[in-house]
Amino acid sequence: MFRENYMSALFSCEKMYVPVFDKERRHFYLFVLHIKKQVVEIWDSLAKSSGSSVDKRLPNMLAILDILFEDDIQQYYPYGWSFASFSVDRSPNVPQQTNGYDCGVYVIKFMLAPEEATQPDFVFDSDTERLDVVLRLLDGNVNSCRNELAAKAEAYFLRSSGTNDSLRIYVQNMDEETANKYSMLKGINANVNPALHQM
């Protein structure tokens, strides 16, 4: 059941993104596996301070992937093919965080826009990236509380300001800015939540 819902067939994958949480260091980083090249890249926004602990976890993670995909490997790959035999590459173009708390947001950005995030001129703005994550979560199709949250936000602003005009202007401006941002940066058309415009 898990595989059918969350993973496609291994032979059809070019890349696999594996977010990792280091509980001891309270730090997120990302393994990017290039299936056909048999290379795993380590994308770590705190690379200088976490090198050896990340490297220690990698062999275990690769061995687990060999177990998880055992049937696919036997069916579609030559004898001896394994994740454990992947070569390791520390990607030099991974942006580095300047604080101790943005690692999770970096990993999300790496997974959503890997080409953008690894450009030499990429600038990470924590507030903008956090807002992007929140907006995606709030306005996502799988968010069953989307309309309820919009109604609660409207009620809160009504109580605090006495009118919902400021909220309506704020939400409309936010949606236009978000749509512009998505269309420019992501190359997609953002669908603004119609429930927000009805406030």
pLDDT of residue 180: 55
Which CATH superfamily includes the segment(s) 2-94? Ubiquitin-related (3.30.310.130)
- The DSSP symbol for 43 reads E
Report pLDDT digits (tens) over 4-16. 655 667 778 899 9
pTM as predicted: 0.69
- Whole-angstrom distance, CA of residue 121 vs CA of residue 117: 9
Query: Cα–chain-centroid distance for residue 58?
Result: 20
Beta strands in the chain, from DSSP E residues, in sequence order: 15-22, 27-34, 39-43, 87-90
Residue-wise pLDDT tens for the chain (199 aa)? Answer: 455 655 667 778 899 999 999 888 899 999 999 999 999 999 999 888 766 667 788 999 999 999 999 999 999 999 999 999 999 998 778 889 999 899 999 999 999 988 888 888 888 888 888 888 888 888 777 888 888 887 887 777 777 765 555 445 445 555 555 555 544 444 433 444 444 433 3
- Whole-angstrom distance, CA of residue 43 vs CA of residue 121: 17
Residue ranges, CATH 3.30.310.130, the chain: 2-94
At 98, which amino acid appears? T
Helix (H), strand (E), coil (C) string for 114-170: HHHHCCCCCCCCHHHHHHHHHHHHHHCCCCCCHHHHHHHHHHHHHHHHCCCHHHHHH
- The DSSP symbol for 84 reads G
